[in-house]
């Protein structure tokens, strides 16, 4: 059983084979026993032409509805990694490297000084027994990250590499960001087979691609400086501008490699109190889908249900959902301390009711529903950024139980004057999200994360990270009362007088508890976790003083 050149001529499979050789050599350089049997890499369809007996043993498993399912076995003096699709083969290579060679990619490699992999303890390795078959399948089909404004080629390239290592299958760009990064990132996307979604709040960008005067709702025109209010809303009831925009979208999309889906959203501003807005916008996306179909462009189109500017009429469904396009549900304003069900806030309960209604309707019409979360969003979570291990894993279980198509995680960088390592700070939530989309064993996910640290540091690191999770998630509870400001914006909130003392008390508690934890920790001050905790304690104290000063 050998893989000939023709069989791995597909770019993803060719890359998978190259990665296998690279990782085997890396393992050997780390004095890990990587002497192994010959490797066979391929899809289930290719395996059918080579060994029907082995494939027959996987008959029940092959019924999986998920495109990235794969299995690994040692069979007939070979290692066999076989995937339902080409991308699944690549995922299988990284899975084998982690389980057998201990090469574990916890954080993306952002520079040459950092390591690509954590080398796991030898007692954590899991070599295959002869004839043993291990089967792997995700909990949902779509598992993606959303990038709206991060024009950082090295970071995005590192994230794409990390996606393959952690079995993420989708990257979502706004049109404007994609236009800036497409030349450098396209080759990286192609060889990993990552699905590309274009969209987001990109209507203005597309408007700039053509000369037609787009009809706007002038009643929604505002001039405030804040990004949530400095926009006009499109008038989707007017049809005169839409076909020219569809033409520009079709022309643009023809040149995007790996483009799977369009998810084009209204502007990020409340649409007023009209109940018709959401249905008018959905009708716009349906017309877009029809136009693309007749233009010979075979991609999916979805609409978003999103409470922009806290507008419920843009999130809640009235009547029937679309019978023709899929839905992306994005509720902004969760208190991430709680599940929907256990939240103290009626707004979270209302959002859950809306989500369940969308789920019922999309199921009824045979459409797909994906949820959009903010686990790596440094605007929502602020630079008092909360670790969300329990929230993420519980959310994944809840959404899986609802039968959702998938989950997307938004990455928003920290933008401010503080010396704050947002890429590293947000890495744990990204890791937990990626892993939870494949496993419901939280304890194992957490244990494998802490293997990233030397054994003598793990207990101390865990104590601080657990404290940051317990204390900082409360910061998200203020996003709705202070909207569009947050608990880190004491100088931007004119209506916050009733809250000043309460917010200051929360921040004082964070400063005290985290400061004490650092004081009693055995970690060195220059340790990344210690540095983050020291920053959090000092920053929370400064913010508390500013809130109290504003109350005078």
Band (7; pLDDT cuts 50, 70, 90):
low
On whether both 291 and 190 belong to a single domain, the answer is yes
Per-chain mean pLDDT for the chain: 91
Q: Is the pLDDT confidence value at 154 over 80?
A: yes
The average pLDDT across 218-227 equals 36
pLDDT of residue 65: 80
What is the total count of domains within the chain?
3
Do 222 and 102 have their domain in common? no
Q: Band the pLDDT of 417: cuts 50, 70, 90.
A: confident
Q: How high is the pLDDT of residue 63?
A: 64
Q: How confident is the model at residue 551 (pLDDT cuts 50, 70, 90)?
A: confident
Query: Do residues 90 and 162 share a domain?
Result: no
With a CB cutoff of 8 Å and minimum separation 6, the contacts of 339 are 391, 394, 395, 398
Least confident of 213-227, 397-411, 497-511: 213-227
Residue 29 forms part of a structural domain = yes
pLDDT at 34: 72
pLDDT tens digits for range 291-310: 999 999 999 999 999 999 99
pLDDT at 221: 36
SS3 of 66, please? coil
Indicate whether 206 belongs to any domain. yes
Question: What is the reported pLDDT for 228?
Answer: 43
Which CATH number belongs to the domain containing residue 352 in this structure? 3.20.20.80
For residues 420 and 299, state if they share a domain: yes
Kindly state whether residues 523 and 381 are assigned to the same domain: no
Same domain assignment for residues 402 and 269: yes
Cα 225 to Cα 231: distance, rounded to the nearest angstrom: 9
Residue 6 within a domain: no
Mean pLDDT computed over 105-133: 90
Give the pLDDT confidence score for residue 71 in this predicted structure: 94
Backbone dihedral angles phi then psi of residue 342, each to the nearest 5 degrees: -95, 5
Domain span holding position 493: 458-551
Residue 5 lies in a domain: no
Note the pTM of the prediction, 2 decimals: 0.94
Contact between 202 and 175 under an 8 Å Cβ cutoff? The reply is yes
Q: Tell me: do 346 and 271 sit in the same domain.
A: yes
Q: For position 30, what pLDDT does the model report?
A: 85
Does residue 2 belong to any structural domain of this protein? no
Is the CB of residue 90 less than 8 Å from the CB of residue 10? no
Q: How far is CA 190 from CA 5, 108, 185, 434, in A?
A: 19, 19, 9, 20
CATH code for the domain of 126: 3.30.379
Co-location of 146 and 86 in the same domain: no
Shared domain for 222 and 369, answered yes or no, is yes
Q: Is residue 505 part of a domain?
A: yes
Same domain, 223 and 255: yes
Question: Which percentage of the chain shows pLDDT scores above 90?
Answer: 80
Residues whose CB falls within 8 Å of the CB of residue 86, separated by 6 or more in sequence, listed in order: 10, 12, 13, 16, 43, 193
On the question of pLDDT at 70 being above 80, the answer is: yes
Q: Looking at 384, 415, 450, which one is the last position of a domain?
A: 450
Cα of first residue to Cα of last residue in the chain, in angstroms, is 78
Let me know whether 420 and 470 are in one domain: no
| Whether the predicted pLDDT of 478 surpasses 90 | yes
- Give the pLDDT band (50/70/90) at residue 218: very low
258 and 188 in one domain? yes
Q: Which of 136, 169, 187 is the C-terminal boundary of a domain?
A: 136
pLDDT at 124 over 60: yes
Instruction: Please classify residue 290 by burial: count the beta carbons closer than 10 Å to its beta carbon, then call 0-12 exposed, 13-18 middle and 19+ buried.
Output: middle
Res 210: pLDDT: 61
Contact in structure between 97 and 72 (CB atoms under 8 Å): no
Burial tier of 31 (Cβ tally within 10 Å: 0-12, 13-18, 19+):
exposed
Flag whether 1 is in a domain: no
Least confident of 266-270, 496-500, 545-549: 496-500
Q: Residue 211 pLDDT more than 70?
A: no
Instruction: State the average pLDDT over residues 133-147.
Output: 96
- Domain assignment of residue 4, yes or no: no
* pLDDT of residue 238 exceeding 70: yes
pLDDT interval class at 8 (50, 70, 90)? low
């Amino acid at each position: 059983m050998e893989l000939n050149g023709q069989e791995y001529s597909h770019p993803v499979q060719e890359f998978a084979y190259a990665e296998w050789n690279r990782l085997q050599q890396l393992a050997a350089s780390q004095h890990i026993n990587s002497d192994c049997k010959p490797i066979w890499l391929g899809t289930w369809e290719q395996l059918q032409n080579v060994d029907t007996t082995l494939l027959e043993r996987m008959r029940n498993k092959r019924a999986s509805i998920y495109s990235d399912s794969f299995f690994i076995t040692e069979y007939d003096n070979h290692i066999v990694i076989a995937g339902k699709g080409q991308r699944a083969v690549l995922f299988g290579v990284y899975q084998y490297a982690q389980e057998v060679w201990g090469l574990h990619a916890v954080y993306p490699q952002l520079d040459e000084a950092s390591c690509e992999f954590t080398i796991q303890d030898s007692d954590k390795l899991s070599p295959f027994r002869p004839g043993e078959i291990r089967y792997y399948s995700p909990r949902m089909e779509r598992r993606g990250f959303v990038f709206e404004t991060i024009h950082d080629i090295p970071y995005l390239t590192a994230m794409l590499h990390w996606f393959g290592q952690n079995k993420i299958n989708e990257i979502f760009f706004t049109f404007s960001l994609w236009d800036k990064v497409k030349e450098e990132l396209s080759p990286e996307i192609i060889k990993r087979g990552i699905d590309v979604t274009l969209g987001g709040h990109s209507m203005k960008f597309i408007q700039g691609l053509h000369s037609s005067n787009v009809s706007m709702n002038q009643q929604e025109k505002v001039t405030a400086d804040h990004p949530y209010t400095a926009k006009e809303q499109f008038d989707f009831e007017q049809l005169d501008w839409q076909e020219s925009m569809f033409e520009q979208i079709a022309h643009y999309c023809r040149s995007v490699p790996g483009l799977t889906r369009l998810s084009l959203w209204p502007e990020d501003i409340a649409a007023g109190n009209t109940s018709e807005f959401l249905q008018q916008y959905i009708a716009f996306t349906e017309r877009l889908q029809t136009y693309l179909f007749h233009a010979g462009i075979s991609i999916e189109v979805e609409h978003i249900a999103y409470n922009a500017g806290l507008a419920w009429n843009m999130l809640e469904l009235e009547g029937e959902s679309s019978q023709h396009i899929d839905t992306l549900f994005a509720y902004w304003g969760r208190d991430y301390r709680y599940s929907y069900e256990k939240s103290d806030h009626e707004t979270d309960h209302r959002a859950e009711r809306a989500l369940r209604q969308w789920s019922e309707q999309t199921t009824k019409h045979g459409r797909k529903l994906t949820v959009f979360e903010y686990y790596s969003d440094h605007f929502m979570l602020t630079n008092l950024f909360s670790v969300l291990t329990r929230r993420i894993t519980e959310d994944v279980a809840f959404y899986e139980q609802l039968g959702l198509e998938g989950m997307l995680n938004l990455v928003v960088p920290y933008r401010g004057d503080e010396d704050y390592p947002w890429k590293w700070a947000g890495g744990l939530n990204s890791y937990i999200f990626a892993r939870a989309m494949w496993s419901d064993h939280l304890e194992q996910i957490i244990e494998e994360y802490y293997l990233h640290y030397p054994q003598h540091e793990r207990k101390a690191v865990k104590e601080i990270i657990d404290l940051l999770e317990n204390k900082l998630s409360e910061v998200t509870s203020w996003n709705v009362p202070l909207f569009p400001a947050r608990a880190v914006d004491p100088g931007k909130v004119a209506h916050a007088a009733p809250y000043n003392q309460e917010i200051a008390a929360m921040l004082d508690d964070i400063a005290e508890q985290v400061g004490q934890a650092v004081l009693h920790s055995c970690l060195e001050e220059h340790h990344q976790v210690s540095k983050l905790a020291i920053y959090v304690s000092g920053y929370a104290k400064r913010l508390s003083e500013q809130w109290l000063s504003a109350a005078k």
